[in-house]
Chain A
Amino acid sequence: MDIVTQHRLIRQAQKGNAAAFATLMVDAADYLTRTAYLYLADSHDVQDAISAATLAAFEALPQLKQPRYFRTWVTRILIRQCYRRYRIKAHEVFAQEAMPEPPADPNRLTSDEKIDLLAGLRGINQAHALTLMMHYYHGLSVKEISTLQEIPENTVKSNLRRGRQALRDWLGEDYLD
C-alpha cells in the first residue's frame, strides 16, 4: 500500500470508518502475525492478542497525531496485548530447556536450524529475552518497557545487560558488541 493511500485510510479510520481501518490492519496482517509470535507461542493466544489490539487501536486511533507512525503505534499496542497474555501464561508455555548448539553460519539456515535458533532465543531467561526483543527488535525505550512490564527502569537495564550476556555466551563473545 502506498503512503498516500495509507494516510488517507488513517484519516478516514480516525473519523470512525471501521472498513478503512480493517483495510489498514489486513494489509499489515503478515507483520502483525510475526510480531505476535515473537512474544506468544500458542496460535489461539496470538489471534486473541491481535483481536484485542485491533479493538484497542481502533478506539485509540483519534489520538494518533502522526499518521507516519501508524505501524510503530499499532506495534506497541499489540506488544502490550501480547505481554499481558504472556504474563498470565508464562509458567505454562515456556519450559526452560538446554540451549541448542549455535548455528555454524546464521545466514544459511535450514528450517530445522531456524526452529532450533528460535528455541535458543526462547531458552534464554524469558524476562531477558522479551526485554531484548522489545528493545532491540521493536525499538521500545527503556522507559516504555518499564511502563509496560511494570518494573523499575533499572531492572529493565539489568535484564538488557543479562540478555546481551546470555546471547554472547551462546552465540560468541563478539555478539552484540
Chain B
Amino acid sequence: MTEENKQFRTLVDQVTVVSPADVAQTKTTIQRTLASLPARPVQRHLRPWHIGVASALIALVLLTIGGIVNPTMNRALAQAPIVGQFFARFSDGDALSVVVQNNGRSERVHGQATVNGLTLTLESAYVEGQTVGIEGVATGVPAKKDDWFDVKLGTQAPASFETKSTEVRKLGKNRYYFALFGTLSVVDSRRIVYLPLTIDRFAGYRGPWQFSFKLTPSRSTTIALSGQAQLPNQTQLTLTQYTRYSGGTGLLTLQQSTPDGQSEISIRSIKPVPTGAELLLNANPLYLEGTKYGEQKTVVGYRIKQYPAGIKNLYITGDVDGRAYAVTIPVK
C-alpha cells in the first residue's frame, strides 16, 4: 500500500463510524435477501486449466502424429509466426480480445520507438465491430511508477475513437505488457482505420513514443431480430438485431424502454440455454443510434460471443435498479 493510500485510509477510517443498529439491519437484509432465493442446482464448471491441459494433450498428439506422417506440416509449423504467445497476455476482463486472437483475426502491427532507453514495441491489434484493441511490450523500464500510460491520437485518427481502458502488466525484469482498448462509432468501424498515436507518458516515464499504422475491420453480417420481455419497474427489453463479426464475436442490439429514463437496466448474463456457456463478453453496453444513458428509450449493443445457429431463445439475467430479473426472449 502506498503512503497516499495509508494517509487517505486513516482519514476515512477516523471519520466513518456506523451504529450497531445499522449493522444489525445489514445482517437482517442479507438473511432476508438470501432466504427469498429459490434453491439453486449444484453446478460443475470446467476450469480453464482443464481446457488448457486437454488442449495441450490434443495438440501434442496432433503435432506428434502430424510430424511423423507429414514432414511438410512440420516445416510449415516451424515457419509460422508464433502469434499464440500473445493470446495469454490479455486478461480475463478483455475476453473479447482473447476470442478475436484465438480466431486468428488480430493483425500483426510493426512499430517500435525508444526514448531514454525505454522501448515500446507494438505487436498486434484488431478492429472487431466498434471495439479496437492494441497491444505491445515495453522493455528497458527501470521500475513502474504508476500503472497507466497517456495516449494522444493524431489528426488522421477517426474522430469517434474513444479510449476506454489501458492496461500495464509486468512480464519479467524491466519488461511490461501494455494494451489499449477503445471504441469507434458505427460508421468509423466500417472503414479502414488509420491510427497515428503518441504515448506521452508510460508507467510514470515521459516520452513521447510515436506510432502510425492502419487496421482493417473484421467483416460483418447483420440480421434483424424481434422478441421482447417485460422487466421490473415497468421497463422493457426488445431485441432488434444481431451482427456477427469474422473475429468470432457478435453485437446483440436491444432497445431498452423505461417509463421516465430514471431506471437503470443492466445485463449480467446472456446464454443460449439456461445451463449453457456464457455469451456475454462485456457487460458495459455501447449506446447506439444517437441514444444516450438516461433517456427513456435507448438502443444499446452488448458484445457477445457468436451464438450457435438455430437457437430459439436467449436467456438473459440482470437487474433493474438493483432488482434482479431473469427472462427468456424468443429469437425470431
Within 8 A of B (CB), among A95-129: 106-107, 109, 114-115, 117-118, 121
Least CB distance, A12 to chain B, in whole angstroms: 10
| Inter-subunit contact A33/B26 (CB<8 Å) | yes
| Inter-subunit contact B165/A153 (CB<8 Å) | yes
Is B7 engaged at the interface, CB distance under 8 Å to the other chain?
yes
The size of the chain B interface, using a CB distance under 8 A, is: 52
Q: Which residues of B contact A60 (CB under 8 A)?
A: 268
Q: Which single residue of chain B is at the shortest CB-CB distance from A160?
A: B4
The size of the chain A interface, using a CB distance under 8 A, is: 63
Q: Which residues of A contact B5 (CB under 8 A)?
A: 136-137, 139
Is A94 engaged at the interface, CB distance under 8 Å to the other chain?
no
Is B156 engaged at the interface, CB distance under 8 Å to the other chain?
no
| Inter-subunit contact A26/B14 (CB<8 Å) | no
For the residues of B in contact with A, the DSSP-based class is mixed
Least CB distance, A77 to chain B, in whole angstroms: 11
Within 8 A of A (CB), among B247-262: 262
- Which single member of A56, A84, A133, A154 contacts B12 (CB below 8 Å)? A133
| Inter-subunit contact B30/A18 (CB<8 Å) | no
| Inter-subunit contact A18/B34 (CB<8 Å) | yes
Within 8 A of A (CB), among B1-55: 4-5, 7-12, 14-18, 22-23, 25-27, 29-35, 37, 39-43, 45
Within 8 A of B (CB), among A1-25: 15-16, 18-19, 21-22, 25
| Inter-subunit contact B268/A56 (CB<8 Å) | yes
- Which single member of B7, B18, B23, B163 contacts A175 (CB below 8 Å)? B7
Q: Which residues of B contact A37 (CB under 8 A)?
A: 16, 18, 22
The answer to whether residues A55 and B324 also contact, given A29-B26, A150-B284 and a CB cut-off of 8 A, is yes
Least CB distance, B177 to chain A, in whole angstroms: 14
What mask results when residues 46 to 59 of chain A are scored 1 for a CB within 8 Å of chain B, else 0? 11111110111011
Q: Which residues of B contact A30 (CB under 8 A)?
A: 18, 23, 26
Q: Which residues of B contact A52 (CB under 8 A)?
A: 319, 322-324
| Inter-subunit contact A33/B37 (CB<8 Å) | no
Q: Which residues of B contact A176 (CB under 8 A)?
A: 4, 7-8
* Chain B CB within 10 Å, residue with most, of A34, A46, A49, A106: A34
Is B87 engaged at the interface, CB distance under 8 Å to the other chain?
no
Q: Which residues of A contact B7 (CB under 8 A)?
A: 175-176
Roughly how many angstroms separate A55 CA and B29 CA in the complex, as a whole number? Answer: 11
Q: Which residues of B contact A48 (CB under 8 A)?
A: 322
Least CB distance, B202 to chain A, in whole angstroms: 14
Is B241 engaged at the interface, CB distance under 8 Å to the other chain?
no
The answer to whether residues A33 and B324 also contact, given A26-B31, A121-B12, A153-B163 and a CB cut-off of 8 A, is no
Within 8 A of B (CB), among A52-95: 52, 54-56, 58-60, 62, 81, 84-85, 87-88
- Which single member of A62, A84, A136 contacts B4 (CB below 8 Å)? A136
Q: Which residues of A contact B23 (CB under 8 A)?
A: 29-30, 33
Least CB distance, A122 to chain B, in whole angstroms: 10
| Inter-subunit contact A81/B322 (CB<8 Å) | yes
What mask results when residues 223 to 248 of chain B are scored 1 for a CB within 8 Å of chain A, else 0? 00000000000000000000000000
Point out residues on A near B: beta carbons under 8 Å.
15-16, 18-19, 21-22, 25-26, 29-30, 32-34, 37-38, 43, 46-52, 54-56, 58-60, 62, 81, 84-85, 87-88, 106-107, 109, 114-115, 117-118, 121, 132-133, 136-137, 139, 141-143, 146-147, 150, 152-154, 157, 164, 167, 171, 175-176
Point out residues on B near A: beta carbons under 8 Å.
4-5, 7-12, 14-18, 22-23, 25-27, 29-35, 37, 39-43, 45, 147-148, 150, 162-167, 262, 264, 268, 284, 293, 317, 319, 321-324
Closest 8 CB pairs of A and B: A52-B322, A136-B8, A16-B40, A118-B15, A29-B26, A117-B15, A25-B30, A143-B165
